[in-house]
Structure 1
Amino acid sequence: MKNLANFLFEVGMLKRTPRSGFQFLGSGAESVAEHSFRTAMIGYTLAHLDGRADVGRVVQICLFHDLPEARTGDQNYVNKKYVRTDEKKAVEDLARNLPFGDDYRDLWQEFDARESLEAQLAHDADQLEMILALKEYKDLGNRYADEWYPYLVERLRTDAARQLAETIWETDSSKWWFDDDHQWWVKGERGPA
């Protein structure tokens, strides 16, 4: 139980581990935990769209894909040019102490290899999460988001992800909550049905 308690504290570290790429975008911030949660929801969505993938496996891969960053920190693309992190060692050190360590190691290795359909969908979910964040910041006026978008699209591996990315980029990120019921926004009441 001690190892499990330590594991859950380690997972909590992701709430305090910032995603480091936003410093180059010039606006925005999110933790690795926030990123992983939305990535898992995107993975769930992509797996359902695909129809062939093991939905649960995709979600598990998404949830665990950045767990090593609790130990290594988040390395953006500029950092990765100069700094080598040993994510495999971080995975092994944690897996050794978990009763489901083999499962964790397998999930992470599957994501890293990107060969299975589930890993490809999880990879695409990871990229789509950043595309969503970029679109949110673009809609708030960050002009650099347009420069990043094409690179992220090129990383996508599945047709469903490419179609979703295009729709995301064409959709106003704030319109999902602002419906057309004028009276609600004026009086706080629904108009006649």
Structure 2
Amino acid sequence: MSESPTSPLGAELQGTLAFLRAAESLKYMTRTSWTSNGQQETVAAHTWRLCLMALVLAPHFPGIDVGKLLRICLVHDLGEAISGDISAALQASLPNKAEQERADLVQLVQPLPDTMRADLVALWDEYDAASSPEAKLAKGLDKLETILQHNQGVMPAGFDFLFNIEYGAAYTRDHPVLAALRTVLDTETQQRAREQAAPPEAS
């Protein structure tokens, strides 16, 4: 028998559906990145591959709670469902960016049950402060996924590839696997920058 919308469980499920409907905007909120077929990347697409990275690299993370790592990855950009993404290059000029994103997250999760709402905000706070091994790994993987997409995508003319050489380096240098991935991606970044700077071939 289905739950009545006025029963406690029915009301909880209605709230969950309201949250999921609001989070749907992440499927069309775009980032300052493009895919290999020229489509502008969405926040949801970035989060999906970030989670995939965490999953397939998990054997290299002994002692890490992989379930928690994945939850942090899923939540880290959830607030962008309301105000959208701000590129890393612009974040330095927006000192209140984290405060705004947290406020958006708190607004987004309002329809959820109290415990779930508190859990999601706590995971975001943990990520923002990089206050656990899982949060630090999520930060590093987030930077690597961003750089990977920039290197792989059809980026617009004049895109500043070399910005990525220092981007998020503090979060990728301490773990050996992240550092090794960073070395490969930095080499690719430098190659993309050289290709962009090269004069076009005469036809």
Global fold match (TM > 0.5): yes
Whole-Å separation in 2 of the counterparts to 1:71 and 1:128: 24
Q: Are the aligned partners of 1:62 and 1:122 in contact in 2 as well (CA < 8 Å)? A: yes
Distance in 1, matches of 2:95 and 2:171, equals 25
Q: Which runs of 5+ in 2 are unaligned?
A: 1-12, 189-203
Q: Which residue pairs with 2:137 in the alignment?
A: 121
134 and 38 in structure 1: CA distance in 2 versus 1, 3 angstrom threshold: same
- Which segments of 5 or more consecutive residues in structure 1 lack a partner in the other structure? 172-193
Residue 94 of structure 1 is matched in structure 2 by: 108
Amino acid at match of 2:110: R
Out of 137, 140, 144, which is 2:153 matched to? 137
Equivalent residue runs for 1:51-66 within 5 Å: 51-66=62-77
| TM-score, L = length of structure 1 | 0.74
SS of the residue 1:61 aligns to: helix
Equivalenced residues, count: 166
47, 69, 79: which one pairs with 1:68?
79
Q: Which amino acid is 1:88 matched to?
A: R
CA deviations on 1:31-52 (whole Å, 9 max, x unpaired) are 0000000011112234331211
Moved segments of 4+, more than 6 Å: 140-143
Question: Which deviations, in whole Å up to 9, do the C-alpha atoms of 1:57-99 show, x marking residues without a partner?
Answer: 1011001110100012111134431474412212222333212
Residue 13 (str. 1) matches residue 31 (str. 2): no
Secondary structure of 2:56's aligned partner? helix
Backbone CA RMSD of aligned residues: 2.7
Q: Which residue is 1:188 aligned to?
A: none
2: CA distance between counterparts of 1:153 and 1:67?
20
Amino acid aligned to 2:78: L
Counterparts of 1:152 and 1:116, CA distance in 2:
21
Query: Percent of pairs identical after alignment?
Result: 28
TM-score (norm: length of structure 2)? 0.71
Which one of 16, 39, 43 corresponds to residue 32 of structure 1? 43
